[in-house]
Chains A and B, each alone.
Chain A
Amino acid sequence: MVQRTVVDYLRAAAAECPDKCAYFDATVRLSYGKLDRIAGNIATRLIRELQVSGRPVAVYMDKSPMTIAGFFGVMYSGNFYSPIDTSMPEYRLALVMENLKPVGILTDASHYDMARTYCKQVFLIEEFTDEEADDKLIEEQLSHMLDTDPLYVLYTSGSTGVPKGVVVSHASLIDYIDEFCAVIPIGKDDVVANQAPFYFDASLIDIYCTLHEKATMGIVPLADFSVPLKLLNYLEDNHITFIRWVPSALKMISTLKGFRTLKPSALKTVVFGAEAMPVKCYNYWYENLPDVTFIQIYGPTEITGVCTYYVCDRVYDESETIPIGKPFHNTSVFLLDEDNKKISRRDVTGEICVKGTCLALGYYNAPEKTSEFFVQNPLNPYYPERIYRTGDLARYDENGDLVFISRKDYQIKHMGHRIELGEIEATAAFLPGIKNAYCIHDAKTDKIIMYYESESYDDAKLTEDLKKRLVRYMVPNEVHRLEEIPMLKNGKVDRMKLKEMHANS
């Protein structure tokens, strides 16, 4: 069967192995057949009550196998989904909802009231079962679907203070998952342990590679990531073979030398990315698990998931950086210098640019932002060809592998999350009583430090107010009130001076 839309992935798995466990957590186990039927049940109601297609439906609920059923229910209804972080403070949630304007919200009982404040059409996930799907109605809806139609919108940090929604098509996801599974060792016998929240693109590998390979995925309880022995026991008890975690999660085990107590015996593949991997942490894992394959991956949400990978095959010196490697098939990743010329020589720094089917459709409801980052390929004056400018700087090493260097702007990676310092600064500056607020990121300790001027705020009060407006991981680790923020002659903040102040403190 030709797989045209992501719907076909689930249809194929449900036909081939209906009784096999697809997704599980501590309370729910969904087989492929059951998942398909619940999705059908959800879609039937969505079609009947919303009577639209090609529109956004927010999935606003805690992570569970039923959340995935919700994603497919939305797809089966001919619409596209947007997973919304339930831990987001109201202030930011309102910004997201204002941008998305969902036609419906799929939620769970504990978030129902909040969902109702943003939309009239709210559907409770608890009400859906594996009965009553109107297949004819669904088929009719799906018959109009194209692979260029949106599949989902994922929200990421925006420098002006408003989160950006990355819209990705069915074709992009299929391209991504097909090419990923072609080179990364994963198969039907694998059991995946999911760490990434579903509102991050990192979870796409877990959800969709599992589905593509007809494997099984477990959702690791969030609290286990604070208790390394619980985490290791989870891997062991569930015979986990494949993990795709952020380095921060791997660090929990290496810092506390968890393998002295237990080494997960079934583990075969460890994939990591989304932030710099500390060499010390990698070496600890590599040396302790000699039979495991370690793969570093790289890529922003705007090119669906990841666009390069590197299979690690040795211990690294702490002065080295583990490369991000080479592109996946059907994806072009290249470096442009400041004059938009292509770089091919080694050790020359350039901006990572990407083209291919993996490119997102753009930012939802934000045409200006879209044209700023998704641009005409400067190497091609002949016909329209979009590339995505990542803003990441890199170089080629002696093996032709890409090595990440830094950002060219104020986007940072903090505890595995992508953050625009501008979003934190804009949020603080918006508080009445805050005059100036600027952030720096100390990459070595992975801390966000904010400096501000104010007559009415102290450090504790500012932190408290920021917590009400920012996602938890965006709240600065330190805030310091200054009499005067150091400025440059051109009226911009002197970030070098701030970094100096931080280094000397």
Chain B
Amino acid sequence: MEELREILTQIHPEVDYDTETGLIDHRIFDSFDVITLVGELMDNFDVEITAEQMVPNNFNSMQSIWKLLEELMEE
């Protein structure tokens, strides 16, 4: 999770990722941030994220992104 935190912090260093649960819904991450994030996740964790998985529920918090990554890495 620390690696994920580092990626998120690079995109938005001012966000408290332990408490924020509306990264997408509160438009903290705009579409350009999202595409940057998805690219970094795919490169750094060697996973493939599909369009179906790119929904706000999966990306609204560090915890939910981590949960998605764990599922993808198990596959």
Identify the A interface with B (CB < 8 A).
Answer: 222-223, 225-229, 232, 248-249, 251-253, 255-258, 260-261, 415-416, 446, 459-460, 463-464, 467, 472-473, 477-479
Contact = CB atoms under 8 A, between A and B. Distances in A.
A226 B51 contact: no
A227 B49 contact: no
Contacts of B50: 256-257, 260-261
Interface centre among B12, B13, B49, B53 (most CB of A within 10 A): B13
A467 B14 contact: yes
A260 B14 contact: no
A232 B51 contact: yes
Nearest to A467: B14
B52 A252 contact: no
A256 B30 contact: no
Most chain A CB within 10 A, of B29, B35, B49, is at B35
Sorted nearest first, the 5 A-B pairs with minimum C-beta distance are A225-B31, A258-B51, A256-B51, A415-B32, A228-B51
Contacts of B51: 228-229, 232, 253, 256-258, 260-261
Contact of B30 (A228, A253, A472): A472
Chain B, interface size category, equals: 20 to 34
Contacts, number: 68
Contact of A459 (B13, B38, B55, B56): B13
Contact of A252 (B13, B29, B35): B35
A256 B31 contact: no
Contact of B32 (A227, A260, A473): A473
Given A251-B35, A252-B35, A255-B39, A229 B10 contact: no
Interface string B31-44: 11011101100100
A222 B31 contact: yes
B54 A228 contact: yes
Contact of B13 (A232, A249, A261, A479): A479
A113 B32 CA distance: 29
Contacts of A460: 13-14
A473 B51 CA distance: 24
A478 B55 CA distance: 26
A255 B10 contact: no
A258 to B, nearest CB: 4
B73 interface: no
B27 to A, nearest CB: 7
Given A228-B51, A256-B50, A256-B51, A477 B11 contact: yes
B10 A477 contact: yes
B41 to A, nearest CB: 10
Interface in B1-35: 10-14, 24, 27, 29-32, 34-35
Given A249-B31, A256-B38, A227 B54 contact: yes
B31 A463 contact: no
B31 A252 contact: yes
A248 B54 CA distance: 16
Contacts of B13: 459-460, 463, 479
B32 A256 contact: no
A253 B13 CA distance: 26
Contact of A226 (B11, B14, B29, B42): B29
A407 B48 CA distance: 34
Contacts of A248: 31-32, 35
A232 B51 CA distance: 10
Nearest to B14: A464
Contact of A223 (B14, B27, B53): B27
Contacts of A459: 13
Contacts of B36: 446, 477
A227 to B, nearest CB: 6
A464 B58 CA distance: 26
- Tell me which of A222, A223, A256, A459 has the highest count of chain B C-beta atoms within 10 A of its own C-beta: A256
A463 B32 contact: no
B24 A226 contact: yes
B34 A252 contact: yes
A232 B50 CA distance: 13
A448 to B, nearest CB: 12
A226 B31 contact: yes
- Report which residue of B35, B39, B51 has the largest number of chain A beta carbons within 10 angstroms of its beta carbon: B51
Given A225-B31, A463-B13, A255 B38 contact: yes
A252 B51 CA distance: 9
6 contacts: A227-B56, A252-B35, A255-B38, A258-B51, A261-B50, A479-B13
A226 B30 contact: yes
A252 B36 CA distance: 9
Contacts of B27: 223
